[in-house]
């Protein structure tokens, strides 16, 4: 009777089946949890909390509910289980996005040059969790990455939350998340803001082609070498060649379609006779200058970094994005997923994101209520 009173059930009212809570995820599926999250976002939009002009991207590592020491041979596991193709049923748009980033390698322009642990091994407890560095240091653990897309309006409202295996790097889902947010919420962002991890050529090019300013810093590799930086070589767009610091002209010599770069190089005898060759290159064939097929987009993105708007967005990101993950881990149990498998951890993650959005929505309504109450008291 005390339990019925506490949860609001009358004495003659039937209570839920004993398996309702334990089996609700299998019965409802990811799509129902995602619709609940989207409904909360719709309420935030109606309340005017979503601007849609700025998108902020980040991700955090979350430990999985499995032990890395329990990984076994993948071939034996798959042969034993005879697993059907993952997500073989009809999926929603978000379900297809979850299925795409299931930990399998996504083909890029470069050839594979390393072997991942998950190529050969898998955890039978949670086959979708992959090894990652522990947040506290020490040995590797199994886990996932939780990716957030946040609006830059009145409040940091989460527009999308996607969980991928830890082997999927932060920057990989960016363009798919941009497209999903754009079509789902009917918004046309002006800028996309992320850290250096997101500043890859495909991301910058993809955003610029979508007419979104790529506020993404890129890694400075010039500090990794003792030789002259490529920035010291002036590019003549009319004649399509470079001019080196010594006034020599490295012309276009080849195109690498596989890597999508143009290669400029002077004759070997010219470089070898140069008085500052030791500061420029150690190659006997001369200095090579690599120019991306999409250098115009990269130069455009670099020009943003000198503007006040870019600097303001980066400062805003430091207080807009990271505190949300800290809040989720401290107050919403996001340090470690309780559930297992990709679909279920996505259910858990979207519920956490929905709860965070609800807190901002309630705060907004309470603020309006207090302002209304104060106005009445003043009258």
Comparison of pLDDT for 86 and 346, the residue scoring more: 346
Nearest to 32 by CA among 80, 92, 77: 92
Tens of pLDDT, residues 19-48: 666 677 777 788 999 999 999 999 999 999
**Which of 12, 107, 32, 17 minimizes the C-alpha distance to 351?**
32
Look at 113-122, 259-268, 270-279, 347-356 and tell me which has the smallest mean pLDDT: 113-122
pLDDT on residue 238: 86
Higher per-residue confidence, 207 vs 378: 207
Beta-bridge partners for 332:
none
Which strand (E) or helix (H) includes residue 144?
A: strand 141-151
Banded pLDDT at 300 (limits 50, 70, 90): very high
pTM (predicted TM-score): 0.82
The β-bridge partners of 163 are 146
Greater pLDDT, 216 or 221: 216
Task: Decide: residue 37, CB within 10 A, 0-12 exposed, 13-18 middle, 19+ buried.
Answer: buried
Instruction: Please report the pLDDT score of residue 18 as a whole number.
Output: 64
Taking the CA atoms of residue 216, residue 262, residue 236 and residue 233 in that order, the dihedral angle to the nearest 10 degrees is: 70
Taking the C-alpha atoms of residue 256 and residue 271, their distance in angstroms, rounded to an integer, is: 22
Residue 227 or 329, more confident: 329
Helix (H, G, I), strand (E, B) or coil at 97: helix
Q: Region 37-61: what's the mean pLDDT?
A: 95
Residue 268 makes CB contacts below 8 A (sequence gap 6+) with 284, 285, 286
Residue 373 pLDDT class (50, 70, 90 cuts): low
For residue 50 the two structure tokens come to 């979503």
CA distances from 319 to 17, 156, 312, 325, 326 (A): 44, 10, 11, 11, 11
Q: Specify burial of residue 284 (Cβ count, 10 A radius: 0-12, 13-18, 19+).
A: exposed
More confident residue, 67 or 81: 67
Whether the pLDDT of residue 371 is over 80: the answer is no
- 379, two tokens: 């009258």
Q: Which two tokens stand for residue 357?
A: 């959005």
pLDDT of residue 359: 94
pLDDT tens track for 200-214: 999 999 999 999 999
Q: In this predicted model, which residue has the larger pLDDT, 370 or 209?
A: 209
Residue with tokens 């809040």: 327
DSSP string, 259-308: TTEEEE---HHHHHT-TTHHHH---TT---EEEETTHHHHHHHHHHTTSH
- Mean per-residue pLDDT, 331-350: 92
Residue 69: what pLDDT? 80
Q: Which candidate, 201, 162, 379, 358, places its Cα nearest to that of 292?
A: 201
Q: Which two tokens stand for residue 283?
A: 């190659």
Looking at per-residue confidence, does 213 or 259 come out higher? 213
Which residue has 């409202």 as its token pair?
Answer: 157
Return the percentage of the chain with pLDDT > 90, whole number. Answer: 44
Q: What is the mean pLDDT of the chain?
A: 85
Task: Report the share of the chain in percent with pLDDT over 70.
Answer: 85
For the chain, state the CA radius of gyration. 26
């Amino acid at each position: 009777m005390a339990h019925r009173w506490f949860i609001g059930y009358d004495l003659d009212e039937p209570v839920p089946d004993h398996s309702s809570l334990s089996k609700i995820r299998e019965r409802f599926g990811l799509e129902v949890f995602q619709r609940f999250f989207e409904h909360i976002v719709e309420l935030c939009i109606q309340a005017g909390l979503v601007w849609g002009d700025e998108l902020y991207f980040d991700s955090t590592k979350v430990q999985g509910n499995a032990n890395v020491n329990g990984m076994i041979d993948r071939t034996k596991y798959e042969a034993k289980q005879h697993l059907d193709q993952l997500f073989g049923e009809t999926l929603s748009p978000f379900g297809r996005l979850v299925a795409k980033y299931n930990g399998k390698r996504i083909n890029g322009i470069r050839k594979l040059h390393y072997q991942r642990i998950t190529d050969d091994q898998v955890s039978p407890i949670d086959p979708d969790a992959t090894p990652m560095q522990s947040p506290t240091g020490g040995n590797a653990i199994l886990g996932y990455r939780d990716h957030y897309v946040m609006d830059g309006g009145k409040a940091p409202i989460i527009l999308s939350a996607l969980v991928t295996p830890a082997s999927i790097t932060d920057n990989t889902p960016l363009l798919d998340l941009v497209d999903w947010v754009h079509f789902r919420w009917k918004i046309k962002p002006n800028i996309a803001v992320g850290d250096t991890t997101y500043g890859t050529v495909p991301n910058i090019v993809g955003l610029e082609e979508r007419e979104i300013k790529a506020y993404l810093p890129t890694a400075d590799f010039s500090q990794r070498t003792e030789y002259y930086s490529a920035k010291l070589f002036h590019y003549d767009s009319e004649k399509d060649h470079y001019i080196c610091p010594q006034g020599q002209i490295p012309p276009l010599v080849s195109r690498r379609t596989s890597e999508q770069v143009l290669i400029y190089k002077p004759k070997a005898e010219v470089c070898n006779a140069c008085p500052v060759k030791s500061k420029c290159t150690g190659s006997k064939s001369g200095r090579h200058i690599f120019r991306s097929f999409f250098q115009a987009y990269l130069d455009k993105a670099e020009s943003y970094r000198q503007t006040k708007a870019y600097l303001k967005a980066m400062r805003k990101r430091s207080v807009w994005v990271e505190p949300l993950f800290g809040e989720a881990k401290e107050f919403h149990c996001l340090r470690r997923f309780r559930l297992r498998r990709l679909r279920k951890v996505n259910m858990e993650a979207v519920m956490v994101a929905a709860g965070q959005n609800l807190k901002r929505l309630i705060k907004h309504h309470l603020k309006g209520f207090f302002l209304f109450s104060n106005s009445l008291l003043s009258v």
